[in-house]
Structure 1
């Protein structure tokens, strides 16, 4: 396994899932912080209080740091543990807002909410037991300013509690469950993608091991026999010419038998069924994160034509996997010009055009030429700037 296999990029669907998860978390923080900021602005425009202005500024700073901190929630190879500096920055404006909440009964709930939001976000990057411990501690700290004003019998706070902003209160109460559940679902999806990639890698490895075992059984046995026969021939050389000739003949027959068995092994691997290859292409491209559609309206009856088209499907699939970042691919096989046309397109051209210079397409072109077929491959501007198309045509087997 090479380095590219070890650090495999996630499938497109998995990346999209993370984008939706991150987007929803950021959106919720933006909405709730906007509501709080608007309330601060309304009070400041009425009172012109420096304390309210300080609460507004610390709240906006805490909101900005929280939005940036959300990027550290993705726990995979591309995202390390949040740096200590960012964790400190997450709490500095929130703690300042929490401290100011002790001096403002009317806005103490909103001021204390800043440390609740930041504390829950920080808890999301911690392991399970520590996560809930930090959440509980944050809840206690959040309640202290409100409880202190209630203990002093603040009439302003009592009036504000009688007419609470239910959206903020409900959001704050449900925030840990929404955040932790979203991240839990994301981690499940990511691990499923890793398991799918591992299954594909294991399948390839298993096939390599099977081929290595078969090759070892064939070549190992015959080479051992040839070595023994050559040793016997060496011993009789000059002493018994007739026996030496017999040993050399046996060596020749053993080598011939080994070559025949090796050819049979390779022929078994190189025999490709068109129907199986079409289904395999769809499965492999789907595993790679590309949505693959098959449009099969006709399949040639001639075995040679079927095998050549099967190799064309395999080569096109290999090029998509190696040289593109396709999200969609289409494989069309239909009758065309007294023959059959295979067209494979994808929307992630990338460096696929460079594959036209490789040996894979050159070998495929030779295969098609052997059955009077043709091959073309390149970008198709009519379909889009990033569309790459491979087209193979072969005449009908009977006509040929």
Structure 2
């Protein structure tokens, strides 16, 4: 927002104050250095260019005072100095005083090379440049603290989102343990029993092995279902879990129930909600999420979608196939910073449930 304004002001100063091409080049160098510093400051990486930009703008001011006679040549250093000083780890006050003193002293040096009226030189080359630099530097100190607080809040929010994703992974791991841990324990007991009966009761051994085979087959199927988020889910439980995860990440949640959800499609809608919740926490910078439930559908809308092409989300791609295979439709849209994920079954039930 401020970059076009700074560029416009700099261009106007060059056009109005430069009387020769040489003066225009000198003034333009200061403006360009100021714009470069602002761009890197906005990217929170000013330290890479701060020193070169300070040197260039300081040199432009000195040339403007002693050689070209341009009293607007302080524009560059009045931008770069206030941007750089608040980011110093220490001695910021002395640095601010030093930059202001340099601007004032350099401007006062105009008296050595001109016979212009004393008061005019002091106002144009000392008081105005030093005053503008001092005021802008003073204003940047509270701004820097504000941006620091914003950065800390963003980091805290990212950590909360990461923790929410980790909790979801732990829940998945718990489900996997519930499936396989019990099975492996039972298999171990049955195999131990079969070993003991191997030479005394072959028929019982055969029965135990058949049961082991059945148990292992069931566990494989359950594990596959879990891996593809196809394990039977409770929509109400998933809704409560999603609300808890979003609130833990500092995201406001609004739930609208237009009608009671058809029990036949509840499981698939629960899967859509779970996958969408994970995607929002991982890929968006959301501040608000709205979940709308109808008799045979769900719509989740979040803000904070990044201005980029629609990402390829494998989990949703898998769900799209399953929803379509059961007579429904999964819609994913991104527009104006908002992301919509919606699933609907026009006939009110999935084929799989019939």
* Matched ranges for 1:348-363 at <5 A: 350-351=309-310, 358-363=317-322
Kindly indicate whether the alpha-carbon contact (under 8 Å) linking 2:242 and 2:277 is maintained by their aligned counterparts in 1: no
Q: Is contact 2:255-2:290 (8 Å) kept? A: yes
Structure 1: unaligned runs, 5 residues or longer: 1-22, 45-49
Moved more, 200-209 or 324-333: 324-333
Residue of structure 1 in register with 2:329 after alignment: 375
Residue from 343, 347, 365 that aligns with 2:324: 365
1:67, distance to aligned residue in structure 2 (A): 0.6
The separation in 2 between residues aligned to 1:375 and 1:95, in whole angstroms, is: 65
Q: 1:129 and 1:142, CA in 2 relative to 1: closer, same or farther beyond 3 A?
A: same
After superposition, the Cα gap between the structure-2 partners of 1:188 and 1:93, relative to the gap in structure 1 and judged at 3 Å, is closer
Q: Provide the aligned C-alpha RMSD in A.
A: 5.6
Q: 1:269 to 1:309 in 2, by over 3 A?
A: closer
Aligned in 2, Cα 1:65/1:128: closer, same or farther, shift over 3 Å? same
Counterpart for residue 28 of structure 2:
60
1:198 equivalent to 2:154? Answer: no
The answer to whether the Cα contact below 8 Å between 1:58 and 1:94 also exists between their aligned partners in 2 is no
2:326 is the alignment partner of 1:393: no
Which whole-Å CA distance do the structure 1 matches of 2:168 and 2:241 have between them?
A: 18
Instruction: Give, in angstroms, the shift of residue 62 of structure 1.
Output: 0.3
Unaligned 5+ segments in structure 2 are none
Structure 2 CA distance for aligned equivalents of residues 220 and 332 of structure 1: 37
The count of residues paired between Structure 1 and Structure 2 equals 341
User: Aligned to 1:129, what secondary structure does the other structure show?
Assistant: coil
Distance 1:356 1:292 in 2: 22
2:5 alignment counterpart: 27
Matches within 5 A, 1:1-400: 23-24=1-2, 27-28=5-6, 30-31=8-9, 33=10, 36-37=13-14, 40=17, 57-74=25-42, 81-82=47-48, 87-88=51-52, 90-92=54-56, 94-102=58-66, 110-111=72-73, 114-123=76-85, 126-129=87-90, 131-148=92-109, 156-159=117-120, 161=122, 171-213=132-174, 215-216=176-177, 219-220=180-181, 223-224=184-185, 226-227=187-188, 230-231=191-192, 233-234=194-195, 236-238=197-199, 241-242=200-201, 270-274=232-236, 277=239, 280=242, 296-300=257-261, 302-314=262-274, 332-334=292-294, 340=296, 342=298, 350-351=309-310, 358-367=317-326, 369=327, 374-375=328-329, 377=331, 390=342, 392-395=344-347
Secondary structure at 2:48 match in 1: coil
How far 1:361 sits from its partner (Å)?
A: 1.3
8 Å CA contact 1:342–1:393 kept in 2: the answer is: no
Judge conservation of contact 1:299–1:306 (CA < 8 Å) in 2: no
CA distance in 1, matches of 2:16, 2:122: 15
- Judged with a 3 Å threshold, the aligned counterparts in structure 2 of structure 1 residues 214 and 192 are, in CA distance, closer, same or farther, namely same
* Deviation sequence 1:315-344 (CA, Å, 0-9, x none): 66678889999999875545xxxx645556
